[in-house]
């Protein structure tokens, strides 16, 4: 019986009855019974490891410990990214509610103006019906926006088992100051994980190569012979010939995994640097777009709405002109909101790639 863990000593007790039967005793008429000829052996067996198997196993275990810890750290960073993205969704949903409320206010104001004109027969009845439709649509949009915002808040609070009463500062959505500080390198945790995978693959190759070396086994013990009640010393040994078992397949597989890990380490760093550069450029572009819409487009659109309404009240414009001007204003605000949401989303992705939140990982979970 071979030792379960090579290199560790084990004492074994094995009862191995050997029953010998003489030909003349097959009929059961012989002078001895089968039990009288039983044998029992107590022996100690030891396998001697060769080829550095113990050292290879130890090295592999150490690299796997580091690998598990680094994988845990990357999962923590992924979780922090999910939380930040959920916060962005909740922040944008709150802004969408304010935008929907503003749309409803505009529609209701236009509805009041149209009603007054319809009552004095300055506009046809279908203009009033269209204004009512615009208000109804705006109310539906507001209702849906509130439901989406409530869902986003509950999703965000779900990360710490909280309720839906999360307080979100809407001013944070307008903060694009992070675009001024977009420098960053690939997360050291991710790069360390790729390097740990390569080291683990290398250690596994060494272990498989060590397994190709056969281990001799020796055995010593005492044998009790029930027939005559004699004791005998038993000494023996064995070594596999390994004529066909050279562990070649496992070695080649481990080597292939090491080659793949080397490629992942090289390509992973380049890929992350490329993604970081893309997100840095996107942050600058999103921030610039939001600022320009706020400073150039929105004032012009708001002034256009005011002028069209004024002209509409004097009879110089139709209700369709009012609707078109309002649509341009609402679209501009929606576009700015989308740009700000995309900005904060890219910022969260960039924070994950650069490992910005690595300091939040508990010290007990970092790699020693």
User: What confidence tier does 22 reach under pLDDT thresholds 50, 70, 90?
Assistant: very low
Which range is least confidently modeled, 145-154, 218-227, 245-254, 266-275? 218-227
**pLDDT tens digit sequence for 106-121:** 888 888 888 877 777 7
User: What superfamily in CATH does domain 48-212+247-358 come from?
Assistant: Outer membrane efflux proteins (OEP) (1.20.1600.10)
Tell me which of 139 and 3 has the higher pLDDT: 139
- 314, two tokens: 């004097």
SS3 of residue 114 by DSSP: helix
Q: Among 22-31, 33-42, 196-205, which range has the highest average pLDDT? A: 196-205
Partner residues linked to 218 by β-bridges? 46, 237
d(C-alpha 136, C-alpha 104), whole Å? 9
Which range is least confidently modeled, 2-6, 163-167, 216-220? 2-6
**pLDDT tens digit sequence for 82-112:** 999 999 999 999 999 999 999 999 888 888 8
d(C-alpha 76, C-alpha 275), whole Å? 20
Residue 63 CB neighbours (<10 A)? 19
Please report, rounded to a whole number, the percentage of residues in the chain having pLDDT higher than 90.
Answer: 45
- 278, two tokens: 């893309």
* Per-residue confidence (pLDDT) for residue 182, from 0 to 100: 60
Tell me which of 338 and 320 has the higher pLDDT: 338
Backbone dihedral region for residue 239 (phi beyond 0: left; psi -120 to 50: alpha; all else: beta): beta
Domain regions of the chain by residue span? 48-212+247-358
Which range is least confidently modeled, 53-57, 226-230, 258-262? 226-230
* Per-residue confidence (pLDDT) for residue 41, from 0 to 100: 82
- What count of Cα atoms within 13 Å lies in the side-chain half-sphere of residue 135? 15
Residue showing tokens 């320009």: 292
User: What confidence tier does 162 reach under pLDDT thresholds 50, 70, 90?
Assistant: confident
3-class SS letters over 81-95: HHHHHHHHHHHHHHH
3-class SS letters over 279-319: HHHHHHHHHHHHHHHHHHHHHHHHHHHHHHHHHHHHCCCCH
3-class SS letters over 241-259: CCCCCCCHHHHHHHHHHHH
Average pLDDT over residues 239-257: 85
Partner residues linked to 238 by β-bridges? 217
**pLDDT tens digit sequence for 293-308:** 999 999 999 999 889 8
Average pLDDT over residues 21-48: 59
SS3 of residue 235 by DSSP: strand
User: What confidence tier does 246 reach under pLDDT thresholds 50, 70, 90?
Assistant: confident
* Per-residue confidence (pLDDT) for residue 318, from 0 to 100: 78
d(C-alpha 291, C-alpha 297), whole Å? 10
On average, the pLDDT of the chain sits at: 82
**pLDDT tens digit sequence for 125-146:** 777 888 888 899 999 999 999 9
Q: 54 near 36, Cβ under 8 Å?
A: no
> pLDDT at residue 244 above 80?
no
């Amino acid at each position: 019986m071979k030792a379960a863990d090579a290199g560790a000593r084990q004492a074994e007790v094995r009862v191995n009855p050997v029953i010998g039967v003489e030909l003349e005793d097959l009929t059961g008429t012989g002078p001895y019974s089968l039990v009288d000829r039983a044998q029992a052996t107590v022996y100690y067996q030891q396998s001697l490891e060769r080829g550095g198997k113990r050292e290879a196993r130890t090295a592999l275990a150490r690299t796997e410990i580091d690998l598990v810890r680094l994988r845990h750290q990357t999962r923590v960073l992924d979780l922090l990214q999910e939380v930040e993205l959920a916060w962005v969704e909740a922040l944008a949903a709150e802004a969408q509610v304010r935008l929907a409320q503003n749309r409803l206010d505009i529609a209701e104001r236009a509805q009041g103006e149209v009603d007054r004109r319809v009552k004095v027969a300055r506009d046809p009845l279908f203009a009033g019906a269209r204004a009512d439709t615009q208000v109804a649509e705006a109310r539906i949009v507001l209702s849906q926006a509130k439901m989406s915002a409530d869902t986003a808040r509950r999703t965000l609070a779900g990360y710490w088992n909280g309720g839906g009463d999360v307080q979100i500062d809407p001013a944070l959505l307008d903060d694009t100051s992070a675009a001024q500080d977009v420098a960053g390198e690939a997360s050291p945790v991710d790069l360390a994980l790729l390097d740990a995978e390569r080291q683990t693959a290398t250690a596994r190759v060494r272990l498989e190569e060590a397994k190709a070396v056969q281990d001799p086994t020796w055995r010593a013990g005492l044998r009790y012979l029930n027939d005559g009640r004699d004791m005998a010393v038993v000494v023996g040994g064995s070594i596999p010939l390994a004529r066909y078992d050279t562990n070649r397949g496992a070695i080649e597989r481990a080597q292939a995994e090491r080659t793949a890990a080397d490629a992942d380490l090289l390509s992973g760093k380049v890929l992350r640097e490329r993604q970081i550069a893309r997100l840095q450029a996107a942050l600058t572009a999103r921030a610039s777009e939001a600022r320009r819409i706020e400073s150039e487009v929105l004032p012009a659109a708001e002034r256009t709405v005011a002028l069209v309404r004024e002209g509409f009240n004097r009879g110089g414009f139709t209700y369709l002109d009012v609707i078109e001007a309002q649509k341009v204003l609402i679209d501009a605000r929606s576009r700015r909101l989308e740009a700000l949401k995309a900005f904060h989303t890219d910022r969260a992705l960039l924070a994950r790639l650069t490992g910005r939140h690595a300091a939040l990982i508990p010290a007990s979970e970092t790699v020693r």
